């Protein structure tokens, strides 16, 4: 295969189509230019390729390079005269996302494994049905009919186990006779990923009614999960059944050099690639107008969750409903009237494209983002778990610690990097504001690097990582990721105002007290060895009260020392709380209003 020197990649979002042009320069891959245009999947155009061509035109003008031919087709591979690109790739969520129902036998085991498989493949889960979910059969049938999912994933039973419940589940699907959301006359895709003993009876019941796909069991034994075959089938059926219904999609799939990938699936791919290449634990959050996606890789295990009701515009009132007025007010560095806060957020919901007009409005919006990210992260922790139903041998000490099976995989002390993405973080007026929001929402422990996605090009880099991981990783590190700086945060509690940590860097010692934040100047690309000495029973990763020597890295913000306790302590009294918030804002050099 000839060397790939130029790459064009597009991401067809629900509102905007974004194009990036990458080229090999001086032996490394770099982002050259980017362009964007409105997505044209709806009337009057009804053709997704119109938006793609418009975005690529902008890239052509900025790069001074011909990429489209006279018929508005992308030229691949590069011609002798230098026009065109070696590879063209695309991701898409223009079909409105993949909406799935998952069904399992036991809610806490097979249904949860099915949920993890579907979320990891880029789906939004609209219902989880299980034999033991407490609903009557007629209620489940009614629910499936009403929801009209794009696809159903059925699982249950370990290989060689009972078949009865799985047959009942298939018969319930026949009773529901579900119709897909898109495509008149098409059969609904159903993936069966359960006990292999039940394959024949399932086939007999469902084969003539739905588009059935049988894959390996998600949970072949109690102590093993095998999610990849189901994820691959979901991805394939999504391309065939759902995306094909998006106008102009067939045309676009003829242009690309490799299959089109769903946007969230692609973001997950780049996070996995980076975690694998650098051998680190990574957490990434993408906060949008309607949904917040959280991706993580802990100990090599990848998980993704979608909080489909938490966002900064269309779903902002859901954040208000879940967090409550008090939950949002606790992050505002001034007194807010309850009714005024509700009205501000309702206005944002009905006018989703508006931006804050005053510093006070911005601080309220950033307070909402903290709660949206925190709630999405809590949701992620409940699904990113070790397997339930597995017997483990434990010592008396572990039993006293109440560490049950099915514990969350999210270990903040082991986490190496947090990546934030989405308008409220990527487009914050100052980088320090993005760092502050992420610090309050995720409350990292030990030593953790904070970073933001500069212009949201993770989807394009994700699809690129499937054919050229090296190029994707190079552009991700150099052009996509903006490192904000390392955070040092001890766990444990102490008395406000008393010394919590001593951090020594370059023979200079910084002593930070309980309940306070400190910013130490450390530039982009600068690394230092830091000796971190916690007081009392505080822990920074070496054990309670034990000194830790670690490498810390600077960034656009610097080195952050956070001694506010975990969870972050905020006084109940409104006056004392506002005073404390104002001190934290001042530590970051920020104005409150």
The one-digit pLDDT tens for each residue of the chain (593 residues) are 578 999 999 988 767 889 999 999 999 999 999 998 888 877 788 888 999 999 999 999 999 999 999 999 999 888 999 899 999 999 887 655 678 889 888 888 888 888 888 877 767 788 888 888 888 888 988 988 888 888 899 998 888 888 888 898 899 888 888 877 766 667 888 999 999 999 999 999 988 888 899 999 988 888 888 888 988 888 777 777 666 667 888 888 889 988 888 788 888 888 998 899 889 999 999 988 877 889 999 999 898 887 777 888 878 888 999 899 999 999 999 999 999 999 999 998 888 778 889 999 999 999 999 999 999 999 899 878 776 555 444 333 433 333 344 678 899 999 999 999 988 998 899 999 999 999 999 999 999 999 998 877 888 999 999 999 889 989 998 899 999 999 999 999 889 999 999 999 998 999 999 999 999 999 998 999 999 999 999 999 999 999 999 999 999 999 999 999 999 989 999 999 999 999 999 999 999 88
Cα–Cα distance between 315 and 303 in angstroms, integer? 23
What local confidence, expressed as pLDDT, does residue 508 receive? 93
Picking from 460, 448, 128, the residue whose alpha carbon sits closest to that of residue 266 is 460
Q: How far is CA 275 from CA 272, 280, 545, 563, in A?
A: 5, 5, 30, 28
Cα–Cα distance between 134 and 348 in angstroms, integer? 38
pTM to 2 decimal places:
0.81
DSSP for 285-318 reads EEE-SS-EEEEEEETTEEEEEEETT--SSTTHHH
Tokens of 192: 């069966």
Cα–Cα distance between 285 and 420 in angstroms, integer? 5
Tokens of 423: 């308008």
CATH architecture of 6-94: 2-Layer Sandwich (3.30)
Contact 545, 536 (CB under 8 A): yes
Determine how many CB atoms are found less than 10 A away from the CB of residue 468. 19
Helix/strand/coil for 487: strand
- Give the E-state strand segments of 374-525 in sequence order: 417-421, 446-453, 481-489, 499-505, 508-513, 516-520
Cα–Cα distance between 114 and 194 in angstroms, integer? 10
Cα–Cα distance between 97 and 122 in angstroms, integer? 8
DSSP 573: S
DSSP 278: H
Count the alpha carbons within 13 Å of 83 in the hemisphere toward its beta carbon: 10
Contact 488, 532 (CB under 8 A): yes
Picking from 54, 79, 52, the residue whose alpha carbon sits closest to that of residue 65 is 79
Cα–Cα distance between 80 and 106 in angstroms, integer? 60
Class of domain 98-245 as given by CATH: alpha beta
Tokens of 375: 């709630």
Determine how many CB atoms are found less than 10 A away from the CB of residue 392. 11
Cα–Cα distance between 434 and 518 in angstroms, integer? 16
Could you tell me which residues come within 8 angstroms of residue 572 by beta carbon, excluding any fewer than 6 positions away?
none
Sign of dihedral through CA atoms 439, 297, 417, 534? positive
Write phi, then psi, for 340 (nearest 5 degrees).
-65, -40
Helix/strand/coil for 31: strand
Tokens 């993580």 -> residue: 296
Tokens of 340: 């005024």
Q: How far is CA 88 from CA 3, 198, 256, 467, in A?
A: 14, 43, 5, 11
Cα–Cα distance between 233 and 19 in angstroms, integer? 28
Write phi, then psi, for 168 (nearest 5 degrees).
-60, -40
Determine how many CB atoms are found less than 10 A away from the CB of residue 581. 20
What local confidence, expressed as pLDDT, does residue 405 receive? 44
What local confidence, expressed as pLDDT, does residue 122 receive? 67
Cα–Cα distance between 552 and 109 in angstroms, integer? 40
Q: Is 431 left (phi over 0), alpha (psi -120 to 50) or beta?
A: alpha
Cα–Cα distance between 265 and 534 in angstroms, integer? 41
Tokens 């979002």 -> residue: 13
Domain extent listing, the chain: 6-94, 98-245, 282-310+326-587
Which is it for strands 292-298 and 301-307: parallel, antiparallel or unpaired? antiparallel
Tokens 């390079």 -> residue: 65
């Amino acid at each position: 295969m000839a060397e790939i020197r130029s790459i064009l990649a597009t991401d067809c979002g629900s509102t905007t189509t974004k194009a990036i042009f990458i080229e090999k320069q001086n032996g490394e891959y770099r982002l050259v230019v980017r362009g964007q245009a409105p997505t044209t999947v709806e009337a009057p155009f009804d053709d997704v390729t119109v938006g793609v061509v418009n975005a690529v035109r902008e890239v052509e003008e900025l790069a001074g390079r011909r990429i489209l031919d006279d018929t508005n087709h992308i030229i691949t591979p590069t011609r002798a005269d230098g026009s065109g690109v070696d590879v063209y790739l695309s991701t898409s969520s223009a079909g409105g996302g993949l909406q799935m129902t998952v069904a399992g036998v036991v809610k806490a085991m097979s249904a949860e494994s099915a949920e993890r498989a579907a979320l990891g493949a880029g789906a939004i889960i609209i219902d989880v049905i299980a034999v033991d979910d407490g609903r009557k059969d007629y209620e489940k049938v009614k629910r499936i009919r009403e929801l009209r999912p794009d696809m159903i994933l059925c699982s249950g039973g370990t290989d060689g186990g009972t078949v009865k419940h799985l047959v009942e589940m298939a018969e319930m699907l026949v009773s529901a006779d579900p119709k897909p959301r898109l495509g008149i006359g098409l059969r609904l895709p159903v993936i069966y990923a359960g006990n292999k003993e039940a394959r024949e009876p399932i086939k007999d019941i469902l084969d003539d009614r739905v588009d059935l796909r049988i894959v390996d069991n998600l949970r072949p034994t109690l102590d093993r999960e095998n999610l990849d075959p189901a994820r691959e089938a979901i991805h394939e059926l999504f391309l065939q059944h759902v995306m094909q219904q998006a106008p102009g999609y067939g045309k676009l799939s003829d242009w690309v050099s490799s299959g089109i990938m769903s946007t969230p699936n692609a973001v997950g791919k780049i996070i996995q690639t980076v975690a694998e290449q650098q051998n680190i634990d990574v957490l990434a959050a993408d906060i949008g107008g309607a949904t917040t996606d959280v991706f993580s890789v802990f100990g090599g295990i990848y998980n993704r969750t979608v909080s489909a009701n938490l966002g900064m515009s269309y779903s902002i009132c859901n954040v208000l409903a879940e967090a409550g007025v008090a939950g949002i007010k606790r992050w505002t560095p001034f007194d807010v009237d309850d009714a005024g806060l509700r009205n501000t957020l309702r206005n944002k919901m009905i006018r989703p494209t508006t931006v804050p007009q005053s510093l006070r409005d911005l601080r309220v919006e950033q307070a909402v983002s903290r709660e949206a990210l925190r709630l999405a992260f809590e949701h992620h922790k409940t699904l990113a778990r070790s397997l339930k139903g597995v017997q483990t041998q434990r010592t008396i000490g572990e039993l006293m610690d109440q560490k049950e099976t099915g514990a969350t995989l999210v270990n903040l002390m082991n986490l190496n990097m947090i990546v934030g993405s989405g308008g409220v973080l990527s487009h914050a007026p100052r980088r320090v504001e993005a760092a502050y929001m992420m610090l309050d929402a995720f409350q990292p422990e030990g030593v953790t690097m904070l970073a933001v996605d500069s212009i949201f090009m993770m989807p394009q880099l994700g699809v690129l990582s499937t054919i050229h991981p090296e190029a994707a990783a190079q552009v991700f590190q150099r052009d996509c990721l903006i490192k904000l700086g390392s955070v040092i945060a001890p766990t444990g509690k102490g008395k406000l105002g008393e010394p919590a940590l001593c951090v020594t860097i370059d023979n200079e010692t910084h002593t930070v007290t309980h309940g306070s934040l400190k910013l130490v100047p450390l530039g982009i690309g600068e690394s230092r060895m830091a000796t971190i000495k916690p007081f009392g029973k505080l822990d920074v990763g070496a054990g309670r009260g034990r000194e830790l020597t670690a490498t810390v890295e600077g960034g656009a913000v610097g080195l952050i020392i956070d001694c506010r306790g975990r969870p972050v302590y905020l006084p109940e009294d409104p006056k004392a709380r506002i005073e404390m918030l104002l001190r934290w804002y001042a530590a970051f050099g920020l104005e409150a209003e």
